[in-house]
Amino acid sequence: QVQLQQSGPGLVKPSETLSLTCSVSGVSMSSYYWTWIRQPPGKGLEWIGYTHHTGATHYNPSLESRVTISLDTSKNQFSLTLYSVTSADTAVYYCATGSDSGYYKWWGQGTLVTVSS
Amino acid sequence: QFVLTQPPSVSGAPGQRVTISCTGNSSNIGTYYGVHWYQQLPGTAPKLLIYGNNIRPSGVPDRFSGSKSGTSASLAITGLQAEDEADYYCQCYDSSVSRYLFGTGTTVTVL
């Protein structure tokens, strides 16, 4: 079955860079859009952006200047990089995928990233 | 702002029917873009319940149904069960802000 397994640090210092990886099994990365979504503690979901095997990317305009989502099909992984983080970036980060129509059938387990010195 | 508006909470007794509304505008729900719904149990990742306005993925009980009309969408849960206690989110693409939006979220309580 399809599995998305997230990895990365749970603590990042302010002004530094947040990096998370999502390892994919059970589905070809030549399909679908590979997406990151976050959820601040006690709050709702926020779409961060996606990448596609064609090289296409699309980011939330509110984060676009600080975010990169990349795909490594040779490793069956995709990654999130968020630069210059602040406490407002503290959230549970999810990787997700599952369609070409903007909905998400499969999700990673979530990673709580806390921005604090 | 750039959100889809949902009621903060709804509740019902076991066996009852509850509905959750999701209100948008002519740049998101009011377009041809599909509305999708997710269920999130405490401490877990969201689970896809409905996609493309009214399509249930395999394995989702037919107690869950979705609909869309104009600039609003709804999720209905019939035969409410204790295991349905969770947060529910709608989702749709917004062409004016070029991003996917999630609803504000609704907590369902089974009395």
Taking residues A98-104, what's their average pLDDT? 89
Distance from CA of B94 to the nearest CA of A (A): 11
C-alpha angle A72-A74-A76 in degrees, rounded to nearest 5: 65
Please give the pLDDT value at position A98: 86
User: Which chain A residues are closer than 8 Å to B57 by Cβ?
Assistant: 105
| Average pLDDT score over chain A | 95
In one letter, which amino acid is B15? G
C-alpha–C-alpha distance, residues A82 and A113, integer Å: 11
Model confidence band, residue B1 (pLDDT cutoffs 50, 70, 90): low
**A89 three-class SS:** helix
Comparing CB atoms, the residue among B47, B97, B103 nearest residue A61 is B97
Please give the pLDDT value at position B2: 66
Taking residues A23-27, what's their average pLDDT? 95
CA dihedral defined by A13, A114, A72, B98, rounded to 10 degrees? -100
Please give the pLDDT value at position A99: 87
Of A90, A82, A95, the closest CA to residue A21 belongs to: A95
Comparing CB atoms, the residue among B36, B99, B105 nearest residue A103 is B36
User: Which chain A residues are closer than 8 Å to B89 by Cβ?
Assistant: 44-45
What confidence tens digit (pLDDT) does each residue in B76-99 have?
999 999 999 999 999 999 999 899
